[in-house]
Chain A
Amino acid sequence: MASVDFEHVSVEFPIYNASARSLKKRLFQVATGGQLNADQNGRVVVRALEDLTFSLRDGDRVGLLGHNGAGKSTLLRLLSGVYEPSAGRANVRGEIGSLIDISFGIDPEATGRENIHLRGALLGVPKDEIKERMEEIIEYSELGDFVDMPVRTYSAGMHLRLAFSVSTVIRPQILLMDEWLSVGDEGFRHKAEQRMNELVESTNILVLASHSKELVRHVCNRLIWLEHGRVKMDGATDEVGAAYFKD
């Protein structure tokens, strides 16, 4: 039973070394970015998200659409708990699994095996579970003996295979993704697709930021369109998709 309830949530970043004076002249909406503003003290702020109100329930597979800098990644981070809203209330209930950056924390000097421990620990997977599933993860990644070599010797693809194999062992109630994970060569990609589908099936709520029309049509049953930090449209995939992708 997972749920997300946002009430008038805003995220406002104060920028401490930007000169308020020079930017005041250029406070206008541009094609990209959040909203630049100045607060009461004349300090420059970036309002990444403004007045978001929505609710997510079990079964929602939400796609986040929007231009670069619209606030999609900030919203994902807000959902994962990295940021607490600077205004409004955000209530996120359920175990969260964040696949926003699956390579994060990987130590290039450490071996593949050591990095599996590390990634697992960062993801919140209990130590004994990692030990139990170590062989399974290594086998899945098909890295063979390379798993005992330092990760700096890997190719980019191998790097991603390692990250993917360990990051997708989680079965969270709320899954957050910044773009779909499609890694590896032809052979691996089929396996990866299968595992991604398994992962998504097993979660209660999915929130996926994407720029791809096919992907959101295929995976999502609801789309939220963000523009300059505000919700422009929130509804069924066909309806919002038609409006967004037409432009």
Chain B
Amino acid sequence: MNSSFFMGAVRDIVDATRRLSLVGTLGWQDVRARYRRSSVGAFWLTISMGVVIGTIGIVFGQIFKSPMEQFLPFLAIGLILWNFISTVITEGCTGFIAAEAIIKQLAIPLPVHILRMVWRNLIILAHNIVIFPIVLVVMQKPLNWVAFLSIPGLALVVLNLIWGALLMSTICARYRDIPQIITSALQIVFYLTPIMWLPHLLPQRAGAYIVDANPFYHLIEIVRAPLLGEAPQLESWLVSLVMCVLGWLVTLTFYGRYRRRVAYWL
């Protein structure tokens, strides 16, 4: 029984990857909807993020007494990545709920709706990431070759987010309270993760708990560290990889078991 659920889920994912052009079309359509009749369109998000980064950077940089050229790029990339990760998780909870109309109308493999949401957020990430080079130029901080490591890092983050979104979408299609819980939890995680504060500012023992045990820290690190000029700790890569493998195993089993019920739950 278990293996047939698993195989059913795998088949769905494979079918979804065959409809990638549909994913692309729908994701772009979502983003283009923000451009319609708007002068700047999706870049409004970028502008507001830029303002937030500038303000927090200046104020908190003074409070923490951190050198601006270290703090500002750290903050910028951290906020941009957190925005991406938290939005994907939040929208991941309502992934199937939001696609209710299309799910009940057309027999499209369910993972397509998750991939569409991830693709849409990747496009928006591409808009927001524009801030980072600007910050680097302003702080006169160069990039080195290590920065390319951030690409496989981002790929691993996205793989993790996809299983998370698929799992959460399935659960939340049935239990409508969970998206609220996740939103609150994410707010807490934001403060527990070194995004607005540099990790070395934490006293040693507290640091071990809050930073090392925090999976989000590791996910962000594998993309952030190379862009700040350092290769990420091996620990971060390992945590992210293990999370990916275990997460996919759990998700494929769970999603496989309940995927036939999703259309009934909506």
Tell me if A82 and B107 are in contact (CB < 8 A): yes
Interface-lining segment among A58-66, A103-111, A196-204 = A103-111
Binds B, one of A115-123, A183-191, A210-218, A223-231: A115-123
> Within residues 107 to 149 of chain A, which ones have a CB less than 8 A from any CB in chain B?
107, 109-110, 114, 117-118, 121-122, 124, 126-127
- Contact across chains for A84 and B260 when beta carbons are under 8 A apart: yes
- Judged by a CB distance under 8 angstroms, whether B51 is at the interface is no
Judge whether B106 and A104 touch: CB under 8 Å: yes
Q: Looking across the interface, which residue of chain B has its beta carbon closest to that of A98?
A: B106
What A residues does B145 contact at CB under 8 A?
none
**Is B233's CB within 8 Å of the partner chain A?**
no
CB of B200 within 8 A of chain A? no
**Bound-state Cα–Cα, A81 to B15, Å:** 13
Evaluate contact between A100 and B29: CB separation under 8 angstroms: no
Give A105 to B104 CA distance when docked, in angstroms. 12
Does A80 lie within 8 Å of B32, measured CB to CB? Answer: no
A82:B33 contact, CB within 8 angstroms: no
Within 8 A of B (CB), among A161-185: none
**A residues near B107, Cβ cutoff 8 Å:** 80-82, 96, 98
List of B residues within 8 angstroms of A121 by Cβ: 21-22, 25-26
Cβ of A82 and Cβ of B264 under 8 Å apart?
A: no
Are B105 and A83 in contact (CB-based, < 8 A)?
no
| Chain A contacts for B106, CB-based, 8 A | 80, 82, 98, 104-105, 122
Secondary structure at chain B's binding surface: helix, strand, loop or mixed? helix
Residues of A within 8 A of B147 (CB): none
- Say if the beta carbon of A14 comes within 8 Å of chain B: yes
> Is the pair B105, A109 in contact by a Cβ cutoff of 8 Å?
no
Q: Which of B25, B105, B264, B265 contacts A118 (CB 8 A)?
A: B25
Q: Which residues of B contact A14 (CB under 8 A)?
A: 264-265
**Is A193 positioned at the interface, with any CB of B under 8 Å from its CB?**
no
Q: How distant is A61 from chain B, measured CB to nearest CB, in Å?
A: 22
* A55 sits at the interface (CB 8 A): no
A82 touches B103 (CB 8 A): yes
Q: Which residue of B lies closest to A83 (CB)?
A: B263
Q: Are A100 and B264 in contact (CB under 8 A)?
A: no
A residues near B265, Cβ cutoff 8 Å: 14
Task: Say how far B78's CB is from chain A's closest CB, in angstroms.
Answer: 35
Assess whether B29 is in contact with A82, with CB atoms less than 8 Å apart: no
Given A13-B264, A110-B32, A77-B104 contact (CB < 8 Å): yes
How many Å from the CB of B26 to the closest CB on chain A? Answer: 7
B40 on interface, CB distance cutoff 8 Å = no
Determine whether B65 belongs to the interface, using a CB cutoff of 8 Å to chain A.
Answer: no
Check if B33 sits within 8 Å of A101, measured CB to CB. Answer: no
- The complex places the Cα of A82 from the Cα of B102 at a distance, in Å, of 9
* Chain B residue contacts of A118, Cβ below 8 A: 25-26, 29
Q: CA A96 – CA B106 in complex, angstroms?
A: 11
Q: Which of B21, B22, B25, B36 lies in contact with A109, CB distance below 8 A?
A: B36
Q: Which residues of A contact B26 (CB under 8 A)?
A: 118, 121
**Residues of the A chain whose Cβ atoms lie less than 8 Å from the Cβ of B103:** 82
Q: Type the 1/0 row for B1-24, where 1 means its CB is closer than 8 Å to any CB of A.
A: 000000000000000000101100
Asked if A105 and B263 make an inter-chain contact with CB atoms under 8 angstroms apart, the answer reads no
Q: Interface readout for A82-93 with B: 1 if CB under 8 Å, 0 if not?
A: 111010000000
- How many Å lie between the Cα of A107 and that of B263 in the bound state? 23
Known: A80-B107, A121-B26. A86 touches B264 (CB 8 A): yes
**Closest B residue to A82 using CB positions:** B107
Report how far A137 CA is from B183 CA in the complex, Å: 45
23 A-B pairs (CB sep. < 8 Å): A13-B264, A14-B264, A14-B265, A77-B104, A77-B105, A82-B106, A82-B107, A83-B263, A83-B264, A104-B101, A104-B102, A104-B105, A105-B102, A107-B33, A109-B36, A117-B25, A118-B25, A118-B26, A121-B25, A122-B22, A124-B19, A124-B22, A126-B21
Binding site for B on A (CB under 8 A): 13-14, 77, 80-84, 86, 96, 98, 100-101, 104-105, 107, 109-110, 114, 117-118, 121-122, 124, 126-127
If A82-B263, A105-B102, A107-B29 are given as contacts, then 11 extra A-B residue pairs at C-beta distance below 8 Å, sorted by A number, are A13-B264, A14-B264, A80-B107, A86-B264, A96-B107, A100-B105, A104-B101, A121-B21, A121-B22, A122-B102, A127-B21
Which 6 residue pairs are nearest across A and B when measured between Cβ atoms?
A81-B107, A84-B260, A121-B25, A121-B22, A127-B21, A109-B36
